[in-house]
């Protein structure tokens, strides 16, 4: 997917080619005596201009080649014509099976018993908050819910609550040298098209490579899954991804490991011995005596095992995961090796909400289609962060970093994944799964837990900013009393020591007896303060009062504040009556260029060009329409009430 400019030679053919998106320049020059020079810069090889008979640049996904035996040069169109004559590709394409049309039809209802549905939702870790804040917008609007930046809940490994395994994975993103793709404006170069079946030797140039199923998306609704299984008949191996509930005193980690080894062995046998082209991993068999494996773990265990055995290209992996609810979970499954994903429990929950009249006039099919569209849009956004344009380039790539997973666990079941701080292992994951299973099958269970991951709840997840701490901060601000602020500061510090939220809360200052440096040899406070710089948060991300207060404070001490990407009120260019200066010393030009004018750029000590989004790297920024007030619209030269989007990369970096 690039950026990549490649030069190759096999003893006869010398070939130069560019990545599919043309993100790196590749230019060539040919001289009259047959010398071809190819490189990123025109002048990298000293050639006499009088001898050059042809110049050009290689386009996105194109090649130029020399047959050194024949002494001929071939441009891209000529190469394609030659390759097209090599095999009857048109006839081969007739073998491709378009699954989209075959899988059309009504949705399948799996659980008619609402009690069973509640138990499965609880075992999967669902909460009312998940259903109302995450699932409802996806099933109604076909889009993910828009939320404010910032997550003050603990990391999964530091949480006292049971959290899905997906919360231990953080998405990687690319910056500048491998720029992210803008999935909204550059969507034409992106696709979720999924090929699956026995792909055999992917380098073979024969008819077998076209005998495949093609689906426009890796996301399967329940109805699509049912019809797909009917289409594939006996070419499917279904593998149960559950393990028995451990007896009192039994090592749950050992029980889970035994289940994973069994799942790996069954998958290997299905492909190598029974020659099945489709392997289905499912946790649907969970019940009073069976606990569902974390499906991310099961998928990665099978994928990595089949890769090690040289069998992965001979089958597809379809995953039926009860925990899968949002695009991130689906992305982790695919990133760990899944070919297709069926979030069956989320879809059954949608059917239940439609039946209870919680989806307006939507039918089950319409709500399921909306949910599928939301997952697809989320997947495109996630893969675009890495500059990846096709889902096949993302599959099995482990484009994540594990935070809080044991290195031993990662090395065994997620080979190639980074886990810098280690963390919980199989025993910890098995205990959490067992705990959720016990809650699900408790006779007193009457409703899902309320949640608290996204909004503070008294008996839910902890948050860094809770009511008591906010009250203390507001009281300190209202009274202007520094002693009150110190109480707030000490309160936060002590709470973080007792109940850490982020990794930095675990850091300790190591105090050693060192020889003190004479104060005369240390820079003055005034000189040190000149280096202070505020983060570039725009007017809109911050209130006008907070934005202005930061500017005034930094100007008072001789430091610099950054405007952010939202422009600046021209009234701030003039000193205040008391002599204060509310103007930002650093003016930012970001990917959206909001508020950037000649006057704006002339009213600063420094210009900051943001080549990629910092707050949401690889993803871009989004200001909902209701936040685009008259003031914000005036500063950004926009229309009030209209949503504003900052592209993930600064497009000028390509020029």
Query: Each residue of 592-610: pLDDT tens digit?
Result: 889 999 999 999 999 998 8
Do 435 and 555 sit in the same domain of this protein? no
The answer to whether residue 595 is domain-embedded is yes
The model's confidence at residue 615, banded by pLDDT at 50, 70 and 90, is low
Place of tokens 């009504």: 106
Mean pLDDT of 134-141: 96
Count of all residues that appear for the chain in the document:
655
Instruction: Return d(Cα 338, Cα 232) in angstroms, integer.
Output: 18
CA distance 77 to 69: 20
Compute the distance between CA of residue 126 and CA of residue 319 in angstroms, rounded to an integer.
Answer: 19
Mean pLDDT computed over 201-223 = 84
- Is-contact 566 628, C-beta < 8 A? no
Cis peptide before 208 (omega within 30 of 0): no
What is the residue range of 410's domain?
Answer: 110-144+154-440
Same domain, 397 and 429: yes
Residue 23 near residue 3, CB atoms below 8 Å: yes
pLDDT reading at 547 higher than 80: yes
Per DSSP, 518 falls in state P
The pLDDT of 372-382, averaged and rounded, is: 96
Question: Of 245-259, 320-334, 617-631, which one has max mean pLDDT?
Answer: 320-334
Q: What is the pLDDT of residues 12-46, one digit of tens each?
A: 999 999 988 887 889 999 998 888 899 988 878 88
The pLDDT of residue 196 is: 83
The values of phi and psi at residue 445, to 5°, are -65, 125
Query: Does residue 176 sit in the same domain as residue 270?
Result: yes
What's the pLDDT score for residue 89?
A: 85
pLDDT (mean) for 456-468: 84
What is the residue-wise DSSP string for 47-62?
A: --GGGEEEEEE--TT-
453: nearest Cα among 158, 154, 168: 154
DSSP string of 221-273, one letter each residue? -HHHHHHHHHHHGGGEEEEE-EEEPPPTT--HHHHHHHHHHHHHHHHHHHHHT
The confidence score (pLDDT) of residue 638 equals: 92
And the tokens for 224?
Answer: 């699509």
Q: Are residues 46 and 176 in the same domain?
A: no
As a whole-number percent, the residues of the chain with pLDDT over 70 amount to 98
| 8 A C-beta contact, residue 101 and residue 44 | no
Percent of the residues in the chain that have a pLDDT greater than 90, as a whole number: 61
Q: How many structural domains are present in the chain? A: 4
Residue 552 near residue 559 (C-beta atoms within 8 A): no
Closest residue by Cα to residue 303 from 331, 328, 333, 283: 333
* Average pLDDT for the chain: 90
Question: Over the range 554-575, which residues count as b (16 or more CB within 10 Å of their CB) and which as e?
Answer: bbeeebbbbbbbbbbbeebbee
Other C-beta atoms lying within 10 Å of the C-beta of residue 69: 9
Q: Is 98 helix (H, G, I), strand (E, B) or coil?
A: strand
Quick check: 207 pLDDT over 80? no
Q: Phi and psi dihedrals of 571, rounded to 5?
A: -60, -25
Same domain, 491 and 414: no
What letter does residue 195 receive in the DSSP assignment?
E
Q: How many CA atoms lie within 13 A of 404 on its CB side?
A: 20
Average pLDDT score over residue span 341-370: 95
Same domain (yes/no): 331, 230? yes
* pLDDT exceeds 90 at position 202: no
pLDDT at residue 585 tops 70: yes
Q: Which of 403, 425, 440 is the last residue of a domain?
A: 440
Give, for 608, the enclosing helix (H) or strand (E). strand 606-609
pLDDT band for position 352 (cuts 50, 70, 90)? very high
Assess whether 287 and 414 both reside in one domain. Answer: yes
pLDDT of 655 strictly over 60: no
Confidence band for 654, pLDDT divided at 50, 70 and 90? low
Per-residue model confidence (pLDDT) at position 24: 81
CA atoms within 13 A of residue 347's CA, in its CB half-sphere: 29
Q: What is the reported pLDDT for 220?
A: 97
Residue 642 lies in a domain: yes
Q: What is the pLDDT of residue 110?
A: 74
pLDDT beyond 90 at 285? yes
Instruction: Specify whether 312 is located in the same domain as 370.
Output: yes
Tokens at 56, concatenated:
């050009």
Tell me what the mean pLDDT of segment 397-407 comes to. 95
CATH number of the CATH domain containing 391: 3.20.20.70
- Residue 201 in domain: yes
Question: What is the per-residue pLDDT for 182?
Answer: 79
Domain assignment present for 46: yes
In angstroms, what CA-CA distances link 319 with 236, 262, 297, 344? 13, 17, 12, 10
Residue 102 in domain: no
Task: Let me know if residue 458 belongs to a domain.
Answer: no
Together in a domain, 487 and 572: no
Run of H or E including 394? helix 391-394
Reported in sequence order, the residue ranges of 40-129 that DSSP labels E, i.e. its strands, are: 52-57, 63-67, 72-74, 97-98
197's CB contacts (< 8 A; 6+ apart) are 211, 212, 213, 277, 278, 316
Q: For residue 562, what pLDDT band results from cuts at 50, 70 and 90?
A: very high
pLDDT: is 541 or 129 the higher one? Answer: 129
Least confident of 169-178, 238-247, 370-379: 169-178
Query: What is the pLDDT averaged over residues 271-276?
Result: 94
User: What is the average per-residue pLDDT within 363-380?
Assistant: 96
pLDDT computed for residue 645 by the predictor = 84
Residue 558 region by backbone torsions, left for phi larger than 0, else alpha for psi between -120 and 50, else beta = left
Q: Which of 139-153, 417-431, 611-625 has the highest mean pLDDT?
A: 417-431
What does the pLDDT read at residue 541? 82
DSSP secondary structure of 523-557: PPHHHHHTT-B---PPBTTB-HHHHHHHHHHHHHT
**Which tops the pLDDT comparison, 137 or 611?**
137
Q: Mean per-residue pLDDT for 204-211?
A: 72
Nearest to 44 by CA among 63, 68, 25: 25
- Per-residue confidence (pLDDT) for residue 646, from 0 to 100: 82
Cα 590 to Cα 609: distance, rounded to the nearest angstrom = 6
State the average pLDDT over residues 192-200. 84
**Does 272 lie in the same domain as 133?**
yes
In the predicted model, is pLDDT for residue 135 greater than 90? yes
- 450 belongs to a structural domain: no
Q: Is the pLDDT of residue 211 over 80?
A: no
User: What's this model's pTM, rounded to 2 decimal places?
Assistant: 0.90
In the predicted model, what is the mean pLDDT of residues 461-477?
87
Contact call for residues 128 and 451 (beta carbons, < 8 A): yes
644: left (phi over 0), alpha (psi -120 to 50) or beta: beta
Judgement on whether residues 548 and 635 belong to the same structural domain of the protein = yes
Distance from C-alpha of 422 to C-alpha of 419, rounded to nearest angstrom: 6
Q: Are residues 644 and 565 in the same domain?
A: yes
d(CA 294, CA 168) in angstroms, rounded, equals: 12
Of the residues 424, 440, 456, the one at which a domain ends? 440
Two structure tokens written together for 360: 């307006």
In a domain, 455, yes or no: no
Using DSSP's 3-state secondary structure scheme, residue 179 falls into coil
- Give ∠ CA 477-481-482 in degrees, rounded to 5: 100
Task: Give me the residue label for tokens 């949480």.
Answer: 159
């Amino acid at each position: 997917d690039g950026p990549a400019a490649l030069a190759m030679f096999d003893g006869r053919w010398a070939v130069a080619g560019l990545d599919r998106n043309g993100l790196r320049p590749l230019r060539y020059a040919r001289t009259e005596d047959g010398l071809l020079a190819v490189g990123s810069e025109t002048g990298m090889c000293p050639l006499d201009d009088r001898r050059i008979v042809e110049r050009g640049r290689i386009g996105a996904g194109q090649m130029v080649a020399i047959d050194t035996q024949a002494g001929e040069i071939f441009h891209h169109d000529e190469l394609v014509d030659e390759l097209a004559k090599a095999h009857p590709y048109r006839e081969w394409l007739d073998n491709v099976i378009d699954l989209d049309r075959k899988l059309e039809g009504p949705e399948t209802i799996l659980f008619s018993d609402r009690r069973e549905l509640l138990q499965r939702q609880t075992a999967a870790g669902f909460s009312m908050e998940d259903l109302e804040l995450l699932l409802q917008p996806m099933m109604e609007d076909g889009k993910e819910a828009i939320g404010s930046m910032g997550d003050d809940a603990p990391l999964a490994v530091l949480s006292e609550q049971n959290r899905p395994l997906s919360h231990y994975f953080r998405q990687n993103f690319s910056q500048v040298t491998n720029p992210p793709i803008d999935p909204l404006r550059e969507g034409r170069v992106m696709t979720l098209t999924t090929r699956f079946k026995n792909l055999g030797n992917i380098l073979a140039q024969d008819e077998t490579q076209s005998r495949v199923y093609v689906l426009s998306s890796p996301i399967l609704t329940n109805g699509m899954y049912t019809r797909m299984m009917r289409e594939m008949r006996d070419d499917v191996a279904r593998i149960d991804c559950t393990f028995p509930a451990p007896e009192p005193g039994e090592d749950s980690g050992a029980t889970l490991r035994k289940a994973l080894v069994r799942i790996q062995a069954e998958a290997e046998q299905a492909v190598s011995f029974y020659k099945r082209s489709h392997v289905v991993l499912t946790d649907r068999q969970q019940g009073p005596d069976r606990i569902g494996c974390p499906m991310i773990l099961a998928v990665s265990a099978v994928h990595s095992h089949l890769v090690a055995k040289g069998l992965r290209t001979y089958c597809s992996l379809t995953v039926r995961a009860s925990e899968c609810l949002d695009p991130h979970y689906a992305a982790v499954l695919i990133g760990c090796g899944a070919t297709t994903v069926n979030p069956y429990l989320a879809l059954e929950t949608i059917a239940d909400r439609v039946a209870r009249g919680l989806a307006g006039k939507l039918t089950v099919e319409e709500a399921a289609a909306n949910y599928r569209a939301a997952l697809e849009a989320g997947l495109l956004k996630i893969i675009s962060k890495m500059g990846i344009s096709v889902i096949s380039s993302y599959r099995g790539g482990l484009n994540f970093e594990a935070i809080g997973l044991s290195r031993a666990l990662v090395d065994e079941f997620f080979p190639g994944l980074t886990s810098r701080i280690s963390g919980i292992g199989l025993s910890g994951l098995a205990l959490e799964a067992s705990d959720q299973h016990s809650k699900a099958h408790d006779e007193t269970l009457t409703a899902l837990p309320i949640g608290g991951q996204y909004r503070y709840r008294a008996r839910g997840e902890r948050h860094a900013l809770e009511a008591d701490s906010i009250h203390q901060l507001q009281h300190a601000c209202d009274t202007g009393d520094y002693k009150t602020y110190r109480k707030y500061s000490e309160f936060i510090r002590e709470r973080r020591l007792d109940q850490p939220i982020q990794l930095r809360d675990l850091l300790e200052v190591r105090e050693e007896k060192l020889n003190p440096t004479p104060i005369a040899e240390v820079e003055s406070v005034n000189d040190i303060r000149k280096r202070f710089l505020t983060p570039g948060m725009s007017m809109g991300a911050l209130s006008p009062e907070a934005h202005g207060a930061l500017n005034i404070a930094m100007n008072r001490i001789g430091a610099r504040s950054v405007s952010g990407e939202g422009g600046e009120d021209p009234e701030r260019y003039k000193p205040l009556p008391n002599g204060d200066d509310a103007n930002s010393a650093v003016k930012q030009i970001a990917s959206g260029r909001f508020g950037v004018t000649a006057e704006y750029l002339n009213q600063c000590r420094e210009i900051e060009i943001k080549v990629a989004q910092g707050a949401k790297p690889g993803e871009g920024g989004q200001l909902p329409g209701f936040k685009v007030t008259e003031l914000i619209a005036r500063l950004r030269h926009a229309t009030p009430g209209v949503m504003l989007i900052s592209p993930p990369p600064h497009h000028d970096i390509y020029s």
